[in-house]
């Protein structure tokens, strides 16, 4: 029985291990986390918490590590419906000959709704609680994320050619403004400008984005220096490397979220650090498309904020942030020639707090701290794949899989309970995915 002075709270979590991310590389044992109105209000030893709080619900996690919800800092959610459609191809062939034609046939609000629901199911089951999404019909995807309780920054797409989303540059910007205004005041959904890439967006559009990004105080989320060909083609077209072109246009600043960045000079790395640019490392997509290697360790040493993203299911082929962490850490060691590079603690930080920082959300998510949102994931470490257990952080990054995520909370609301999704009819989601497969495969 709780003493009369005990504070009533919504939720008390009692994990075997608590991995707060901040402070860095710390693992706490037998600590409880108290949550009220979606906010973490207390972190203390379990025995003390049982005296201090009168929880409406207590969840005991005796074999689990409780971590901040993972932040997938770059993906195209609705492209789950294109998973495996065109594999084993170089980027430009994959994009121009297969993905863009398929999108032209299938794209619409219904496609985005169904693909995003499938993405939410996959991400919640894998411990992801926040996503930075770049796709068309972001009004629809944002509504899905909001309804299903996943925190998201949705992209306001800008591209130079007509699509079913918009026909002209003016229409792209008008729709961007409408989507941004539509999510004003949302607790879960924010927006970012999402120009596709320097090779598909004009200087004039970038200049308008710069002005509006400043006015609205929102990020600019762009594919940049993804391949050597992109850089060479950019130099041939404009006389500048794409990064230099964005510098000239005033877009290299602390609102820039630069995705991929596999082709970087030392000067460009230094410029990113000086300007406060965030880089999103999508290692598995880059490996699969043979795009190159993001120099994560060099960027980190220079002081650049590096986050992790899965990219879309058409080029990865999953939204598995546990797989992304492991691959990113291993590739960083190979690329830098240093076995100590990007260790487990730094990798988990890249998948959580660094992602939150890239999105301008580090004050609310990304670590388990009093005053932050209760975006949390419980990872069961008693499975054969993570036994015996010597070091919790190492097991999380190098051995654990997304199938070991048992429970997930977003803003204190449970979205996954002992592996079961809450508020989402998985059978219906999968049924619609199969219908889309038939439509798309039929051409």
Q: What's the whole-number mean pLDDT along residues 329-340?
A: 97
Distance CA 145, CA 140 (A): 9
Tokens 């990798």 found at: 347
Distances (CA, A) of 327 to 87, 245, 297, 397: 19, 31, 14, 9
85 SS3 class: coil
What pLDDT shows up at residue 104? 86
Q: Where are the domains of the chain?
A: 7-68+373-411, 70-358
| Separation in Å, CA 248 to CA 180, 242, 253, 407 | 26, 10, 11, 46
Q: Which residue has the tokens 């926040």?
A: 130
Is the pLDDT reported for residue 160 higher than 80?
yes
Instruction: Give one word for 167, left, alpha or beta, with left for phi > 0 and alpha for psi -120 to 50.
Output: alpha
Q: What is the pLDDT of residue 234?
A: 97
Do residues 98 and 157 lie in contact, with contact meaning Cβ atoms separated by under 8 Å? no
Q: 377 pLDDT exceeds 80?
A: yes
Q: What pLDDT was estimated at residue 347? A: 98
**Mean pLDDT of all residues in 136-149:** 98
Residues 19-77 have pLDDT tens digits of 999 999 999 999 999 999 999 999 999 999 999 999 999 999 999 999 999 999 999 99
DSSP states of 155-189 as a string?
A: EEEE-SS--SS-SSHHHHHHHHHHHHHHTTT-SSE
For domain 70-358, the CATH class is alpha beta
* Integer Cα distance of 192 and 1 in angstroms: 48
pLDDT at 178: 98
> DSSP labels for 93-151?
HIIIIIIHHHHHHH-SHHHHHHHHHHHHHHHHHTTEEEEEE--S-HHHHHHHHHHHT-E
Domain 7-68+373-411: assigned CATH number = 2.30.40.10
* Residue among 131, 224, 214, 212 nearest 179 (CA): 212
pLDDT band at 2 (very low <50, low <70, confident <90, very high): low
> Would you tell me how many other CB atoms lie within 10 Å of the CB of residue 3?
9
Report how far residue 134's alpha carbon sits from residue 76's, in angstroms, rounded to the nearest whole number. Answer: 5
Check pLDDT > 70 for residue 8.
yes
> Which CA distances in Å does 101 have to 116, 161, 163, 195, 369?
20, 13, 11, 19, 46
Reply yes or no on whether the pLDDT at 1 is more than 80: no
Please compute the mean of the pLDDT values over residues 106-113 and round it to a whole number. 96
Ranking 84-98, 108-122, 206-220 by mean pLDDT, the lowest is 84-98
Instruction: Give me the mean pLDDT over the 322-334 stretch.
Output: 98
Is the distance from CB of 137 to CB of 176 less than 8 angstroms? Answer: no
Q: Where are the beta strands (DSSP E) in 175-321?
A: 189-195, 220-224, 256-260, 278-281, 305-308
Helices then strands, counting H and E runs in the chain, come out as: 17, 17
pLDDT the model gives residue 94: 85
Mean pLDDT computed over 231-258: 98
Question: What is the spatial distance between Cα 172 and Cα 157, in angstroms, rounded to a whole number?
Answer: 7
At a CB cut-off of 8 Å and minimum separation 6, what does 356 contact? 71, 130, 362, 364, 365, 366, 367
**Nearby residues of 211 by Cβ (< 8 Å), 6 or more positions away:** none
Residue 33 near residue 13 (C-beta atoms within 8 A): yes
> Do residues 420 and 101 make contact, with C-beta atoms less than 8 angstroms apart?
no
Q: Are 373 and 384 in contact (CB under 8 A)?
A: no
* pTM, entire model: 0.97
Task: Determine what percent of the chain is predicted with pLDDT higher than 90.
Answer: 94
Question: CA-CA distances (angstroms) from residue 401 to 127, 321, 359, 381, 383?
Answer: 10, 9, 25, 10, 10
Residue 393 has pLDDT above 80, yes or no: yes
Give the mean pLDDT of 413-432.
98
Q: Minimal CA–CA distance to 244: which of 283, 209, 206, 293?
A: 206
pLDDT in tens, 262-314: 999 999 999 999 999 999 999 999 999 999 999 999 999 999 999 999 999 99
Question: pLDDT for 221-232, tens place per residue?
Answer: 999 999 999 999
CA–CA gap between residue 80 and residue 131 (Å, rounded) = 14
């Amino acid at each position: 029985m709780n003493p009369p002075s005990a504070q009533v709270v919504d939720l008390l979590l009692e994990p075997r291990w608590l991995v707060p991310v901040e402070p860095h590389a710390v693992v706490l044992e037998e600590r409880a986390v108290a949550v009220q109105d979606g906010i973490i209000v207390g972190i203390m030893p379990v025995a003390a918490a049982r005296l201090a709080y009168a929880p409406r619900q207590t969840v005991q996690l005796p074999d689990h590590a409780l971590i901040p919800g993972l932040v997938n800092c770059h993906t195209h959610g609705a492209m789950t419906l294109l998973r495996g459609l065109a594999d084993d191809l170089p980027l430009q062939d994959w994009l121009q000959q297969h993905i863009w034609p398929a999108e032209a046939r299938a794209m619409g609000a219904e496609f985005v709704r169904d693909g995003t629901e499938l993405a939410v199911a996959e991400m919640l089951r894998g411990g992801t609680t926040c996503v930075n999404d770049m796709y068309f019909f972001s009004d629809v995807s944002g509504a899905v994320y909001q309804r299903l309780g996943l925190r998201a920054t949705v992209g306001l797409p800008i591209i130079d050619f007509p699509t079913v989303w918009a026909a002209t540059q003016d229409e792209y910007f008008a729709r961007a403004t409408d989507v941004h205004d539509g999510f004003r005041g949302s607790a879960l959904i924010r927006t970012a400008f999402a120009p596709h890439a320097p090779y598909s967006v004009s200087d004039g559009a970038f200049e308008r984005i710069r002005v509006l990004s400043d006015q609205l105080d929102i990020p600019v989320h762009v594919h940049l220096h993804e391949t050597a060909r992109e850089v060479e083609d950019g130099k041939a077209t404009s006389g500048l490397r794409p990064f230099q072109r964005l510098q000239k246009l005033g877009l290299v600043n602390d609102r820039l979220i630069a995705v991929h960045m596999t082709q970087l000079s030392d000067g460009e790395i230094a410029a990113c650090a000086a300007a406060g640019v965030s880089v999103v490392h999508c290692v598995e997509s880059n490996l699969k498309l043979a795009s190159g290697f993001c120099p994560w360790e060099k960027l980190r040493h220079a002081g650049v904020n590096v986050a992790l993203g899965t990219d879309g299911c058409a080029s990865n082929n999953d939204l598995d942030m546990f797989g992304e962490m492991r691959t990113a850490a291993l590739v960083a060691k190979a690329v830098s020639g240093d076995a100590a590079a990007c260790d487990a603690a730094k990798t988990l930080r890249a998948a959580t707090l660094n992602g939150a920082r890239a999105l301008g959300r580090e004050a609310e998510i990304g670590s388990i701290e009093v005053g932050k949102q209760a975006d949390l994931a419980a990872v069961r470490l008693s499975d054969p794949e993570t036994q015996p257990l010597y070091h919790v952080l190492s097991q999380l990054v190098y051995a654990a899989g997304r199938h070991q995520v048992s429970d997930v909370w977003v803003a204190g609301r449970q979205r996954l309970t002992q592996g079961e999704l809450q508020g989402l009819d998985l059978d219906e989601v999968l049924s619609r995915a199969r219908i889309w497969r038939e439509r798309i495969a039929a051409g």
